Amino acid sequence: MLKFCRRLRLTEYFADKESEEDDSLVRNKSTFIPNTGRNKCLDDYIENLSNYPLTPIKVNHNLTKGEKSALQNLRNDKSIVIKQADKGGAIVIMDSDYYRIKVEEQLNDSTFYSEIPDNIDHLVKRRMNTVLNKYTTATTEKEYDYLKNFERKTSNFYGLPKIHKSKEIQSAINSQQNEYIKVQKPTDLKLRPIIAGPASPTHRLSNFFRHNFETIV
């Protein structure tokens, strides 16, 4: 309802204004809401609309109580980790200690990984801001605001089990011939590393570069 009322006010506010040209490839989402008092009819309509009683829509779940309870129990079970396989779409349930060991095996490989300071996000953001301030003429005002002003979060690391490359798992599949395969902590299982950083310090810069390069690459 709030979004709809805001859309009404924006439509009225910009109805008699010419649209300004904006070459910005990226921008922060606008939170602008026009003030009341511009159009009495619109104000009265929105007030009546806001006071109108809403009837909640009853949603019929497609799961039984038992199924929902089972999913909740699985979600709360800290002794297991549930991941989708790297390929094929299979669901893999692993012992959490075993999964941690496999993750640490990967991260302890100094050929590809090195330990970084705890405040690395802050350092990266500060360096980015220094570059942005140096090249302000290379971006529009909205692009500059998009690249500089946002909440950041440290990226998460996780691994997807590469069951298609495990000989122990393939042997178990061939011998058990079942929809559900049980293997006791296969020693040759590897994980595909994933860095989930939808709010990392550089994610907006990456998005900005993508928009710039997609027309020429």
> 97 with 194, same domain?
yes
> 134 with 184, same domain?
yes
Residue 216's pLDDT is 79
Contact 195, 157 (CB under 8 A): yes
197 lies in some domain: yes
> 127 with 197, same domain?
yes
Residue with tokens 């946002």: 150
For 86-106, what is the mean pLDDT?
Answer: 95
For 171-197, what is the mean pLDDT?
Answer: 93
Global confidence as pTM? 0.74
Q: Point out the least confidently predicted range of 56-60, 95-99, 107-111, 178-182.
A: 56-60
73 lies in some domain: no
In sequence order, what are the residues at sequence separation of 6 or more whose Cβ sits closer than 8 angstroms to the Cβ of residue 37? 43
Residue 86 banded pLDDT, cuts 50, 70, 90: very high
- The whole domain housing 88 covers 81-213
> 114 with 208, same domain?
yes
Residue 214's pLDDT is 86
pLDDT over threshold 90, residue 51 = no
What's the total number of domains in the chain?
A: 2
139-170, pLDDT tens digit by residue? 999 999 999 999 888 889 999 999 999 999 99
**Averaged pLDDT of the chain:** 90
